[in-house]
Amino acid sequence: AQKITQTQPGMFVQEKEAVTLDCTYDTSDQSYGLFWYKQPSSGEMIFLIYQGSYDEQNATEGRYSLNFQKARKSANLVISASQLGDSAMYFCAMREFDIQGAQKLVFGQGTRLTINP
């Protein structure tokens, strides 16, 4: 069963508009973490924002915010005032821990975001 689901293979948005990228997850753990990464064409994965399962407030980092709805198991990324440089692949990931406490990231399929001028 897929643990991270990103239902939007591609999104096209006009520059300066806000965009929401969807992410739903599946876990039976009480303690978990959710990440969003950006992958430009250069290939490097760039960390954007993090939400812990016990965090009561939605995470925000500059133009990025995370709409965390725990009961619905969704963690959507909102990018405000989009810029041309925001064009990239965006991945949602969930952190799991093994019995030794090491973290593993489980990624979704990604959403390709294109910002049009």
Partner 1 sequence: ETGVTQTPRHLVMGMTNKKSLKCEQHLGHNAMYWYKQSAKKPLELMFVYNFKEQTENNSVPSRFSPECPNSSHLFLHLHTLQPEDSALYLCASSFYPSGTSGEHNEQFFGPGTRLTVL
List residues near partner 1 by CB under 8 A: 4, 31-33, 35, 37, 42-47, 50, 52-55, 91, 93, 95, 97-98, 100-110
Q: Between residues 15 and 61, which has the closer beta carbon with respect to partner 1?
A: 61
Q: What is the DSSP letter of 73?
A: T
Q: Between residues 53 and 58, which has the closer beta carbon with respect to partner 1?
A: 53
Tokens 């990228």, located at residue: 21
Query: How many residues in the chain?
Result: 117
Smallest gap from Cβ 115 to partner 1, in A, equals: 22
Q: Between residues 15 and 26, which has the closer beta carbon with respect to partner 1?
A: 26
Rounded distance between C-alpha atoms, residue 108 and residue 54, angstroms: 21
Number of alpha carbons in the 13 Å side-chain half-sphere of residue 1: 6
